[in-house]
Amino acid sequence: MFSPIERIKENGRTKLSDVSENIRETTENILNSLERTVNELLDRHPKRESDIRNIQQLLLLKGERDLRYWMKKRQDNGEKFLKEFSISAEFFQRKFFELMALLEEVPQDGSVLDIACGTGDIAILAAMRGQKTIGIELNPSQIRMGKFYAQKLGIEVDLRVGNLLEGDLPAADHWVAKHPCAKGIALPDEILKRWESVDSAHTLTCMTCCQGKAQDSFPGYSGIDANEWKHLCRVSDWTNNSDEMKRFDGQVAMDKIDAFRVGFLREQGLSAEVKKVEGTIKGNMICCSRR
Ligand SMILES: C[S@@+](CC[C@H](N)C(=O)[O-])C[C@H]1O[C@@H](n2cnc3c(N)ncnc32)[C@H](O)[C@@H]1O
């Protein structure tokens, strides 16, 4: 019986580098960089070896599957995929840091709910730790893909299609949301407000992202009005800008938005703070717990 990493690695190479001759050099560079990231993290955090190995497996699996899927769909030799999706060594490194930081915040005891889970990265990684996990996501194709990854990794995880705005969310000790966003709805704010009202959920970790799509959805926090909120949301989109100064302004806007969120939770008597994941573009985490 092969372990997942052995299934991904064959003859000492991962399948990612075997996908296409045309992009062999790029994929080899990405893989070498990923290996270096893993080794550096293992040196710095020896006690987190299993999280580090699990993230490595998941990223390799997703990278390979996404590459094959898009190449087939677009009759691409891989170059378009790498360019359009900005897939690079830095991309994988950023993903790695985000996932490491989020997992560090999620207590290892108790169940986990991954909200707006996409393909269920956090649900899958928490399940790989042995935790009972549920992921909820609006888009059925994301859930299908997440189930495929879980099956490839040989783990049990409950990934469900669902709308987090409707009905009760499945019960869990720890709620996590990574980059929740939607057009016209301030999704992180909806999640914070729901968590605040559910006593059985002990912690919430929400990694936020730019809010331009939700600029008209003012959550009504005190100390700011709808116009100012809209402005901050617009500017927060600059976190993707190629201009360094604009990126900086985008980050400042995101910091302000997140400060209002934390302020709201603290007003309810809850413990909340913003933590930053260095080396990432959208790495603000709102970390909350019930005192
Ligand atoms: C930027 S993606 C992040 C996905 C995933 N958490 C990740 O980090 O890879 C935002 C996700 O929120 C989902 N979403 C948007 N509105 C939702 C809703 N009302 N209920 C559940 N999921 C929703 C989208 O379908 C999308 O997959």
Q: If DSSP codes are grouped into helix, strand and coil, which group holds residue 160? A: strand
Decide whether any atom of ligand 1 lies within 6 Å of the 142 Cβ.
yes
CA atoms within 13 Å, Cβ hemisphere of 129: 23
Decide whether any atom of ligand 1 lies within 6 Å of the 164 Cβ.
yes
| Residue with CA nearest ligand 1 atom 19 | 163
Q: 76 Cβ partners below 8 Å, 6+ apart?
A: 70
What pLDDT shows up at residue 249?
96
Q: 207 Cβ partners below 8 Å, 6+ apart?
A: 98, 101, 102, 177, 178, 179, 277, 282, 283, 284, 285, 286
Q: 137 Cβ partners below 8 Å, 6+ apart?
A: 116, 117, 118, 120, 143, 146, 159, 160, 161, 162
What pLDDT shows up at residue 28?
84
What pLDDT shows up at residue 3?
39
What pLDDT shows up at residue 58?
95
| Centre of ligand 1 from the C-alpha of residue 1, in Å | 35
Q: Quick one: tokens of 80?
A: 């378009």
Among 125, 139, 143, 208, the mutation site with the greatest number of ligand 1 atoms within 8 A of its Cβ is 139
What pLDDT shows up at residue 246?
95
- Per the DSSP assignment, residues forming a β-bridge with 272 are 288
What pLDDT shows up at residue 181?
93
Q: Where are the domains of the chain?
A: 4-92, 109-177, 179-189+206-286
Residue 187 CA: nearest ligand 1 atom is 16
Decide whether any atom of ligand 1 lies within 6 Å of the 179 Cβ.
yes
| Centre of ligand 1 from the C-alpha of residue 116, in Å | 4
Query: Thinking of the domain 109-177, which architecture would CATH place it in?
Result: 3-Layer(aba) Sandwich (3.40)
Residue 210 one-letter amino acid: C
- Run means of pLDDT, 10 residues per run, the chain, 291 residues: 42 60 82 92 96 95 86 84 84 93 96 98 98 98 96 96 95 97 95 95 96 95 96 95 94 96 96 92 92 65
CA 70 vs CA 19, 138, 235: distances in Å: 12, 22, 31
CA distance 176 to 40: 26
215-252 b/e with 16+ CB inside 10 Å = b?
bebbbebeebeeeebbebbebbbbbeeeeeeeeebbbe
CA atoms within 13 Å, Cβ hemisphere of 140: 0
Indicate the length of the chain as a whole number: 291
